[in-house]
Amino acid sequence: MKHVFVKTNFLVDLLRPFPVRDAATLFERVANDFILHIPWVSVSEAKRTITTKIINMVLGAVLFRAQELFDNGERDLYFCNANIRDFGPTSGNALGAAYAACGLQYLSDFKVP
């Protein structure tokens, strides 16, 4: 029996919103062709990496679309999100300035005025 060792990048490629084909193909072969070995620390590292990438993708998409709308004259733009930890503007991040630059008002609930 073959033994295959992988690390964090394999899990990130496999579990991302659009999996990398090579990682998915390799995973499909597990148990049939080989035994897969993943260091335990790679699981938590992959989770952190994927979470960060998804947060960045969501934020990028929101800011991009808000900027398009703002450039077209729209001014009532709201970002409703209860995930204050990752998306809330604070003195420790630049989100407040990014939201203001595209006319986006951040709401930490779903109560649009």
Assess whether pLDDT exceeds 90 at residue 1. Answer: no
- The pLDDT value recorded for residue 83 is 87
- Residue 85: what pLDDT? 85
Please, is 69 exposed, middle or buried when counting C-beta atoms within 10 Å of its C-beta (0-12, 13-18, 19+)?
middle
Domain boundaries, the chain: 59-113
pTM of the model: 0.70
Structure tokens, 24 = 């998915």
* Mean pLDDT, the chain, integer: 92
The secondary structure element, H or E, covering residue 80 is strand 77-80
Tens digits of per-residue pLDDT, 71-109?
A: 999 999 999 998 888 899 988 888 999 999 999 999 999
- Looking at residues 47-64, what average pLDDT do you find? 91
